[in-house]
Amino acid sequence: MRSSLALALLPLAQAINIISSNDDGWAEANIRSIFNALSSAGHSVVLSAPAENQSGSGSRDETPSARTEPCEFDSCTAGASYGTNETDTRLNWVNSYPVTSIKHGIDTISPQFFNGLPDLAVSGPNVGNNLGITVYFSGTVGAASYAAGTGGVPAIAFSGESGSPTAWNAEVPAYSTIYAELAAKVVDRVVAAGSPYLPEDVWLNVNFPAVDDTCTSADDFKFVLSRIFAAVPLITDDDVESCGSTRLPMESSVVRTDGCYVSISVGTSDKTDADATLQGDILQKLGDFLTCLP
């Protein structure tokens, strides 16, 4: 349930309309946790995600067909191509891939709730990180890159190292709650910087390190601007200057550095690193929300 206190504390200008999807399925704990966290922060959130786990589906897109068996975790009955939670119509499933699901959310569901396009798309948090080359195969990334490109909606893909697929009605794992809180922090910072929330055709790839004995609460984590792919010497153009360097750290090195560091990379809709100008736009937008690696 949305917190009335959170609504009272959040300025109306910062409460936005968000479409949510993933590739682990509409009934997986992480997507329900981020739905709750963003709703509690005052945002209006509508979920449109696959009926079952579609990890590794990349940017596949296929017309939904009628299910012949229940959704994952028995979260729906067989027989339909689309469905809605009986007690909360903001929770919706699509019997197809992540791209198809978020496309349905943007084109069909959002107008019903928002009277138009959503302000922002969020995908994930994925069960497992999406680093480097895996962005090409990730359905979570596929949904975000579609939203930012063809969908015309700024987007953020979230992924976390800890955990395994968990049902929506099981005890919520600590990592799921922490990742949702961290995702809400990123969203709120992006929104607080004002519209346009991201440059056109741009999405953010955000990867959380493991929740462990050192990183036990959302307050333990710090955020670092990074790049998705390794730069090729003498070929790859400089990145935006940050932390005294014109070469951003790779996101894989960020999440593997001791000290609870979250990587935030700037991608374009073709799933490659954005150029220094676009990186600079994000650097300016996030400001002191970001830190440097030790």
Q: Is the dihedral of CA 212, 218, 221, 224 positive or negative?
A: positive
Q: For residue 21, what is the DSSP state?
A: E
Report the alpha-carbon distance of residue 3 to residue 8 in Å, rounded. Answer: 9
Residue 57 falls in the annotated catalytic set: no
The one-letter code for the residue type at 260 is C
Q: How deeply is 291 buried, as exposed, middle or buried, from its count of CB atoms within 10 A (0-12, 13-18, 19+)?
A: middle
Report the alpha-carbon distance of residue 186 to residue 198 in Å, rounded. Answer: 12
Output the CA–CA distances (angstroms, integers) from residue 108 to 28, 46, 233, 243, 248, in the order listed: 23, 11, 45, 43, 38
Query: Which residues make beta-bridge pairs with 285?
Result: none
Report the alpha-carbon distance of residue 61 to residue 27 in Å, rounded. Answer: 20
Q: Report the greatest alpha carbon distance in the chain.
A: 58
Catalytic residue among 20, 96, 159, 252: 159
- Residues catalogued as catalytic: 159
